[in-house]
A and B are shown apart, each in its own frame.
Chain A
Amino acid sequence: MKELFPLKQVMGFVFSLVLTAVALSVVMFDMSFAMGMTILLITAFVQAMLQLMVFMHARETEDSGLILANVYYGVFIAVVTVFGSLLALIWGYM
């Protein structure tokens, strides 16, 4: 029976509920904008990785290396595009 019980998925589900609850705390409690955004960004990233790893089986096949490399590449480009645009248009703009 132990093999049949999807322990990993159940744990993942619980963990994603916890992450949702933490994200919800941003509107439930009074906190600064920066603090709220930091919590949201971190929980969103962890949540996305959790979905990919646990529920979309990104690490379970032979070619997981390729899948993860593509994911990391995408993350790199998203981060560079967003922060680069902010840098060019707002932070570094005189």
Chain B
Amino acid sequence: MEFFERFAIPHPSPIIYASMVAIGITLLAIIAGLTFFKKWGYLWREWLTTVDHKRIGIMYLISALLMLFRGGVDALMMRAQLATPEAQLLDSQHYNEIFTTHGVVMIIFMAMAFIIALMNFVVPLQIGARDVAFPRLNALSFWLYFMGAMLFNLSFVIGGSPSSGWTSYFPLAGNEFSPSVGTNYYMIAIQIAGIGTLITGINFIVTILKMRAPGMKLMKMPMFTWSALITNLIITFAFPVLTVALAMGTMDRLFGTQFFTTGNGGMDMLWANLFWVWGHPEVYILVLPAFGIYSEIISTFAKRNLYGYKSMVASMVIISLLSFVVWVHHFFTMGQGAMVNSIFSITTMAIAVPTGIKIFNWLFTLYKGSIRFTVPMMYSLGFLPIFTIGGVTGVMLGMSAADYQYHNTMFLVAHFHLVIIPGVVFAMLAGLTYWWPKMFGFMLNERIGKWAFWFISVGTCVAFFPMFISGLDGQARRMYTYSESTGFGFWNMLSFVGAVALAIGFIIIVYNIYYSTRYASRDIGSDPWDARSLEWATHTPVPEYNFATIPEVDSSEAFWDSKYNGHKLFKGKLKEIHMPNNSGVPFIMSALFFVLGFSFIFSIWIGVIVSLLGICACLMHRSFEKDHGRHISLEEVEKTESELRGGK
């Protein structure tokens, strides 16, 4: 029995027991459903073993939406707890666990997954490729991310969640102050998901540099592909820092090393330093793809080509460099001298310049455009003012002298939510609505979508603007309750109302997906938005080989030119097509990583050794396997093509 005691929750409550039951029932329902409808084979053949970038994209999308709701429920519980003074809904330990998991889930398992979902689906189509450069690695990326996410979510019911903030600063996150396994979950689950992300980064850099359609020079790539390239470059160079920091933290917690301890020559601030060396570029990893999505959507629905293509590209390249030299602004109050703070203040203000250039480029694209107010366009237009307010308050925080006033208050919380929500969530919802017809063959209902947009955008403002005020009044972040005499009550109640509006908005989106799946027309053609880039040049639904003949390109808007300016996209003849084989190894290997992570978290060394051997066996299998892919015959390609054109 002693062995099992370690899995107990150190600080249980009815909510946690209820979610244990809910997780158990959900698992049983999934297993029973798959068995009853005889879908195990289908699931294995079509999804678990797939290497198709479109399906991997859709799996990322589903996981991201699940995580959005998990993180969203966390947020609602926090706002409910803070809505009134001296509330008793959550105690301090639960509140700590919830803001920690909210941050980790939203950033690492929701936002990252969402951007990778859209990159996976769209980038190969936009550059006219058949798949990514390394399809099997792509599957491995997804499954590592998925297993990391599942492992992290397990912490809620087995062993206890991390409670030292999504930044997990040492010494608080060390064994002395966080004795439960929660922070082990943090270190190891993020490590596993992070390896997946790093693999994605390399995969997409190679894909975009090497697999573009003939004629697509770098400066003729669509803007979303450009943003994906820069994003993946940042991923590839930023994530190793996180990997190292997490490995050091893991060793501190499990093996008694002294990297981040306060004694024995350790340096606790080194964790904060390394965390933000990764963490600040991470902010741009999240927001640059969003900028790419907005560029696509704004030029499509303003019916104009993007204003200032070159300056858009240049500003992203400059952002990618500057994003690595500003990280100290996250801990101006740590005690480094005025000289250091001044240097990082200046770099921080400098990075606002290329971002400002992009905002003006979008405004000039809109200027004299014939604007269609579709749902994706409304999110883009809502993004501009809200993001600008969030960004400008960021410049306020970036001034190191003033930062001593704002640091760790709700002002900061308001700032980064007003950057991340319009900058990432709006973009993802816009991109989801925009590319939905390409993914699933029908459009989401516009009227319901607009309801969702208004709830979400107004909800965002109502939820986060009051925090500027309560923050300046002195409400610290991560405070689980406050007394009535502080006067924070009104502002927090207002925030709670906004959070509820946001929740309603997301429920409307779910309803919209249900409604549109049932009732939307399937007869929408392959280009329902009258769009401009290559992903709309192929059929809907997209055949597994994407393009029967590889398109030839001579501008950044080749598809638009082919529709209106007489450019001929497809010049080649149909040929047989070489595609990669499916493989179960990525899934099996990631499942072993899950076992490895779980064993590490609870220091079950036999499990660590066995799963590591299994992982090595998977790697060996891949090294000695002879896999030359498969060929889709010419007849089959012709048959698929004529069916997709409407002939039977």
Which A residues have a C-beta under 8 Å from some C-beta of B? 63, 66, 70, 73-74, 76-77, 80-81, 84-85, 87-89, 92-94
A-B contact pairs, 9 of them (CB 8 A): A66-B209, A73-B237, A74-B237, A76-B324, A81-B277, A84-B277, A89-B269, A89-B336, A93-B337
Q: Which residue of B lies closest to A93 (CB)?
A: B336
Question: What is the CA–CA distance of A89 and B274 in the complex, to the nearest angstrom?
Answer: 11
B325 at the interface (CB under 8 A from A): yes
Judge whether A92 and B337 touch: CB under 8 Å: yes
Q: A81 contacts which chain B residues (CB < 8 A)?
A: 241, 277, 324
B30 at the interface (CB under 8 A from A): no
Q: B343 contacts which chain A residues (CB < 8 A)?
A: 87
B158 at the interface (CB under 8 A from A): no
B327 at the interface (CB under 8 A from A): yes
Main secondary structure of the interface of A (DSSP, over half): helix
Judge whether A88 and B328 touch: CB under 8 Å: yes
Q: A70 contacts which chain B residues (CB < 8 A)?
A: 205, 233
How many B residues touch the partner, as a band? 20 to 34
Judge whether A93 and B335 touch: CB under 8 Å: yes
Nearest chain A CB to B238 CB, angstrom units: 8
New A-B contacts (8) at CB < 8 Å, excluding given A88-B334, A88-B336, A92-B340? A74-B237, A77-B237, A80-B325, A84-B277, A84-B325, A85-B273, A88-B328, A94-B336
Q: A66 contacts which chain B residues (CB < 8 A)?
A: 209
Known A73-B237, A77-B237; contact A89-B273, beta-carbon cutoff 8 A: yes
Nearest chain B CB to A37 CB, angstrom units: 20
Q: Which of B256-277 contact A (CB under 8 A)?
A: 267, 269-270, 273-274, 277
B479 at the interface (CB under 8 A from A): no
Flag B337-381 by CB within 8 Å of A: 1 or 0 each: 101100110000000000000000000000000000000000000
Question: What is the CA–CA distance of A6 and B501 in the complex, to the nearest angstrom?
Answer: 71
Q: A80 contacts which chain B residues (CB < 8 A)?
A: 324-325
Nearest chain A CB to B334 CB, angstrom units: 8
Flag B81-106 by CB within 8 Å of A: 1 or 0 each: 00000000000000000000000000
Q: B23 contacts which chain A residues (CB < 8 A)?
A: none
In the complex, which of the residues A63, A73, A74, A92 contacts B336, with contact meaning CB atoms closer than 8 Å? Answer: A92
Nearest chain B CB to A89 CB, angstrom units: 6
Nearest chain B CB to A92 CB, angstrom units: 3
Judge whether A94 and B335 touch: CB under 8 Å: yes
Judge whether B321 and A76 touch: CB under 8 Å: yes
Q: B270 contacts which chain A residues (CB < 8 A)?
A: 85, 89
Question: What is the CA–CA distance of A76 and B233 in the complex, to the nearest angstrom?
Answer: 13
Judge whether A84 and B327 touch: CB under 8 Å: yes
In the complex, which of the residues A63, A77, A93 contacts B324, with contact meaning CB atoms closer than 8 Å? Answer: A77
Which B residues have a C-beta under 8 Å from some C-beta of A? 205, 209, 233, 237, 241, 267, 269-270, 273-274, 277, 321, 324-325, 327-328, 334-337, 339-340, 343-344
Known A66-B209, A80-B325; contact A92-B339, beta-carbon cutoff 8 A: yes
Judge whether B237 and A89 touch: CB under 8 Å: no
Nearest chain A CB to B404 CB, angstrom units: 15
Question: What is the CA–CA distance of A42 and B465 in the complex, to the nearest angstrom?
Answer: 52
Question: What is the CA–CA distance of A81 and B273 in the complex, to the nearest angstrom?
Answer: 10
The 9 A-B residue pairs whose C-beta atoms are closest, nearest first, are A92-B340, A94-B337, A92-B337, A77-B237, A93-B336, A92-B336, A88-B328, A88-B336, A77-B324
Q: Which residue of B lies closest to A87 (CB)?
A: B340
Q: Which residue of B lies closest to A82 (CB)?
A: B277
Question: What is the CA–CA distance of A93 and B335 in the complex, to the nearest angstrom?
Answer: 7
Question: What is the CA–CA distance of A88 and B337 in the complex, to the nearest angstrom?
Answer: 8
Judge whether A63 and B209 touch: CB under 8 Å: yes
Nearest chain A CB to B315 CB, angstrom units: 17
Q: Which residue of A lies closest to B270 (CB)?
A: A89
Q: B267 contacts which chain A residues (CB < 8 A)?
A: 89
Q: Which residue of A lies closest to B233 (CB)?
A: A73
Q: Which residue of B lies closest to A92 (CB)?
A: B340
Q: B334 contacts which chain A residues (CB < 8 A)?
A: 88
Q: A76 contacts which chain B residues (CB < 8 A)?
A: 321, 324
Q: A88 contacts which chain B residues (CB < 8 A)?
A: 273, 328, 334, 336, 340, 344
Judge whether A85 and B277 touch: CB under 8 Å: yes
Question: What is the CA–CA distance of A83 and B267 in the complex, to the nearest angstrom?
Answer: 17
Question: What is the CA–CA distance of A75 and B327 in the complex, to the nearest angstrom?
Answer: 18
Question: What is the CA–CA distance of A74 and B334 in the complex, to the nearest angstrom?
Answer: 28
Question: What is the CA–CA distance of A10 and B470 in the complex, to the nearest angstrom?
Answer: 70
Q: A73 contacts which chain B residues (CB < 8 A)?
A: 233, 237, 321
Q: A63 contacts which chain B residues (CB < 8 A)?
A: 209
Nearest chain A CB to B301 CB, angstrom units: 34
Q: Which residue of A lies closest to B237 (CB)?
A: A77
Most buried by B among A66, A77, A81, A88: A88
Question: What is the CA–CA distance of A73 and B235 in the complex, to the nearest angstrom?
Answer: 13
In the complex, which of the residues B205, B328, B335 contacts A84, with contact meaning CB atoms closer than 8 Å? Answer: B328
Nearest chain A CB to B314 CB, angstrom units: 15
Q: Which residue of A lies closest to B325 (CB)?
A: A80
Q: B274 contacts which chain A residues (CB < 8 A)?
A: 85
Question: What is the CA–CA distance of A80 and B323 in the complex, to the nearest angstrom?
Answer: 11
Q: A77 contacts which chain B residues (CB < 8 A)?
A: 237, 324
Nearest chain B CB to A85 CB, angstrom units: 5
Question: What is the CA–CA distance of A94 and B337 in the complex, to the nearest angstrom?
Answer: 6
Q: Which residue of A lies closest to B277 (CB)?
A: A81
Question: What is the CA–CA distance of A87 and B344 in the complex, to the nearest angstrom?
Answer: 11
Nearest chain A CB to B122 CB, angstrom units: 22
Question: What is the CA–CA distance of A80 and B326 in the complex, to the nearest angstrom?
Answer: 10
Q: A89 contacts which chain B residues (CB < 8 A)?
A: 267, 269-270, 273, 336
Question: What is the CA–CA distance of A84 and B241 in the complex, to the nearest angstrom?
Answer: 13
Question: What is the CA–CA distance of A89 and B344 in the complex, to the nearest angstrom?
Answer: 13
Nearest chain B CB to A87 CB, angstrom units: 6
Question: What is the CA–CA distance of A77 and B237 in the complex, to the nearest angstrom?
Answer: 7
Q: B324 contacts which chain A residues (CB < 8 A)?
A: 76-77, 80-81
Nearest chain B CB to A18 CB, angstrom units: 31
Q: B327 contacts which chain A residues (CB < 8 A)?
A: 84
Question: What is the CA–CA distance of A84 and B324 in the complex, to the nearest angstrom?
Answer: 10
Question: What is the CA–CA distance of A38 and B337 in the complex, to the nearest angstrom?
Answer: 27
Q: Which residue of A lies closest to B210 (CB)?
A: A63
Question: What is the CA–CA distance of A73 and B336 in the complex, to the nearest angstrom?
Answer: 27
Question: What is the CA–CA distance of A81 and B237 in the complex, to the nearest angstrom?
Answer: 11
Question: What is the CA–CA distance of A77 and B209 in the complex, to the nearest angstrom?
Answer: 21
Nearest chain A CB to B209 CB, angstrom units: 6
Question: What is the CA–CA distance of A88 and B274 in the complex, to the nearest angstrom?
Answer: 11
Question: What is the CA–CA distance of A69 and B274 in the complex, to the nearest angstrom?
Answer: 25
Q: Which residue of A lies closest to B273 (CB)?
A: A85
Q: A92 contacts which chain B residues (CB < 8 A)?
A: 336-337, 339-340
Nearest chain A CB to B288 CB, angstrom units: 15
